[in-house]
Homo-oligomer: A and B are copies of this chain.
Amino acid sequence: MSMPASTRPATVRNVLFIMADQLRWDYLSCAGHPTLRTPNLDALAQRGVRFDRAFVQGPVCGASRMSTYTGRYVTSHGSAWNFVPLSVGQKTLGEHLRPHGLRCAVVGKTHVEPDLDGARRLGLDPSTGAGRLAMEGGFEPWERDDGIWPPGFKVEGNRYCDWLRGLGYTGDNPWHDHANSALGPQGELLSGWEMRHARRPARVAEPHSETAYTTQRAIDFIDEQGDRPWLLHLSYIKPHWPYVAPAPYHAMYGPQDILPAVRSEAERRDPHPVMRGFQQTPPSLSFARDEVRETVIPTYMGLVRQLDDQLGRLFDHLRASGRERDTLVVFTSDHGDYLGDHWLGEKELFHDTIVRVPLIVVDPRPQADAARGRTVDALVESIDLLPTFLDALGLPPAPQWLEGRSLQPWLAGETPADWRDAVFSENTYAFRDPVRLPLGRAVEDCQMTMLRTERWKYVHVDGLRPQLFDLAADPQELDDRGADPALAGVREALAARLVEWLRRRRRMPTIHPDDIAAWNRRELDAGIRIGEW
């Protein structure tokens, strides 16, 4: 923080909550990547605290994001995979903050699926007012854009696509045909959905790319707000596939720059049955080939580098506009990308490659000066963000809803003695026929729950053997000891721990613990005396 402490306020007024999609924890230079350069995120980490071991609550976009947006584990909010509507019964980040006067908006992706059945049941109009906000996961859709349209899909009513059309990028689907495709030698369209085209430049100029546009819209929102308080969820779609980058980012890295695949022959020979299923899906079969990795990963890196450059522009604007002074800035991701590690592509399982994400938090207040530039290796979770926001904004906690803990002590340079020693993440493979059907499992029987401590990673898999990794001996998670008789005692202890966690979920969110504790007294005060002779 360059400015003197005296010019900064004692409380935070705004929150800039930035999320990248499918960005691995280890694809930042400040996290140790040897060739990828992310100077603006490195500088952000220098201005605040980088949490080196931050974990998401689900290894796919939807479940992970709904946990971040509700501050609750997946089993508590029930939106257990992509496209599972977020129940109108769940209280979201926006609903926690808005009553206190903050405008809570999104620019970019949320992956929130509207609970239209809930809206009908309650007579809510899903197109306006509180009903619309509930359908949007509590965010005002200032410019919501989840991206990801297949080739041939006619995109209507999308602001980015309309803007591209205004710039001359014509067609039904300029998102696909221009921003996420390239041109071939004969001028033919090469879709970014086919990864073989990843090394070619996008058909848009860099300032017209999704990442640049999204950044500009965030700047527009911040300017529009002026001195009025806000939380902006700035949510980039990249470096999520399609793996297409605009020039010059498409060519900034090459095969010589990529990290070697983390994988072993044993993993392919005798994997966990669910992992075997995922290894047989198209993304995994593709990324098992070196040619694919060497084609795609340099572009993935270029997309990260572009994101970093755009964030540099945004941070400059924040500084120039004076908002750096009173804004809590968070940068994170919703999950990683296997990119061929463990013979897998995409995500869905619980290796650190996927569930560990970048997390940088900058608290502008003087009280946080002592910790600037620090790296914290405590186990933190994405559900800690909402409590952190409440805390930074000086708002009351909501323990009946929120299952995470405020990160404020770490931001102030403290080391809480009673910090958690385990993190949790959940997924279901019910939606993935190629995994589910060969295992003969009903859709209700496909739950997986991960518990990760300092030493162990344990994954309970309904009806099948668990996975177990000894992270001390095997930090790359190559040796699944889920069936090793020598570790039966360890598995038993971890399974018991997982059960204890499951039992203690916040499933009674409609009453505050203080009201529970006060109940007996209130009953007596009201003259209710039961069973007296």
Chain A residues in the interface with B (C-beta under 8 A):
75-76, 78-80, 83-91, 95, 113, 115, 117-118, 121-124, 129-131, 134, 150-153, 193-196, 241, 281-287, 289, 292, 345-346, 430-434, 442-445, 447, 462, 499, 502-504, 507-511, 513, 516-517, 519-521, 526-533
Is B510's CB under 8 angstroms from A153's CB? no
Is A531's CB under 8 angstroms from B281's CB? yes
Is A86's CB under 8 angstroms from B531's CB? no
Q: Give chain B residues whose Cβ lies under 8 Å from the Cβ of A345.
A: 531
Is A346's CB under 8 angstroms from B530's CB? yes
Extra inter-chain contacts (8) besides given A122-B130, A430-B517, A445-B504, CB under 8 Å: A78-B510, A117-B510, A122-B122, A124-B124, A124-B130, A150-B526, A150-B528, A432-B520
Q: Give chain B residues whose Cβ lies under 8 Å from the Cβ of A285.
A: 531
Q: Which of A241, A345, A445, A507 has the most chain B CB atoms inside 10 A of its CB?
A: A507
**A-B residue pairs in contact (CB < 8 Å), sample of 19:** A79-B508, A85-B511, A88-B122, A91-B118, A113-B510, A115-B510, A118-B510, A121-B134, A122-B134, A123-B124, A193-B532, A195-B532, A282-B530, A282-B532, A283-B530, A286-B532, A431-B520, A433-B517, A442-B513
The listed residue (B124, B292, B527) touching A153 by CB distance below 8 A is: B527
Interchain CA distance A529-B117 in the complex, whole Å? 29
| Known contacts A503-B447, A530-B283; A508/B84 CB under 8 A | yes
Least CB separation from A510: chain B residue: B85
Interchain CA distance A443-B518 in the complex, whole Å? 10
Q: Give chain B residues whose Cβ lies under 8 Å from the Cβ of A113.
A: 510
Q: Number of copies of this chain in the oligomer?
A: 2
Q: Give chain B residues whose Cβ lies under 8 Å from the Cβ of A118.
A: 89, 91, 510
Interchain CA distance A432-B524 in the complex, whole Å? 11
Interchain CA distance A430-B520 in the complex, whole Å? 10
Interchain CA distance A261-B448 in the complex, whole Å? 48
Interchain CA distance A281-B528 in the complex, whole Å? 14
| Known contacts A517-B443, A532-B193; A462/B503 CB under 8 A | yes
Is A284's CB under 8 angstroms from B84's CB? no
Shortest A282–chain B CB gap in Å is 5
Interchain CA distance A508-B521 in the complex, whole Å? 36
Interchain CA distance A508-B77 in the complex, whole Å? 8
Is B526's CB under 8 angstroms from A283's CB? no
Is B193's CB under 8 angstroms from A292's CB? no
Least CB separation from A121: chain B residue: B95
Shortest A405–chain B CB gap in Å is 14
Is B80's CB under 8 angstroms from A508's CB? yes
Shortest A289–chain B CB gap in Å is 8
Least CB separation from A511: chain B residue: B84
| Known contacts A433-B521, A443-B513; A529/B282 CB under 8 A | yes
Is A194's CB under 8 angstroms from B533's CB? yes
Q: Give chain B residues whose Cβ lies under 8 Å from the Cβ of A195.
A: 531-533
Shortest A446–chain B CB gap in Å is 9
Q: Give chain B residues whose Cβ lies under 8 Å from the Cβ of A131.
A: 122-123
Interchain CA distance A196-B510 in the complex, whole Å? 38
Shortest A157–chain B CB gap in Å is 18
Is B117's CB under 8 angstroms from A123's CB? no
The 3 closest A-B pairs by CB, nearest first: A89-B89, A283-B531, A123-B130
Least CB separation from A528: chain B residue: B150
Interchain CA distance A95-B462 in the complex, whole Å? 32
Q: Give chain B residues whose Cβ lies under 8 Å from the Cβ of A503.
A: 447, 462, 502
Interchain CA distance A292-B532 in the complex, whole Å? 10
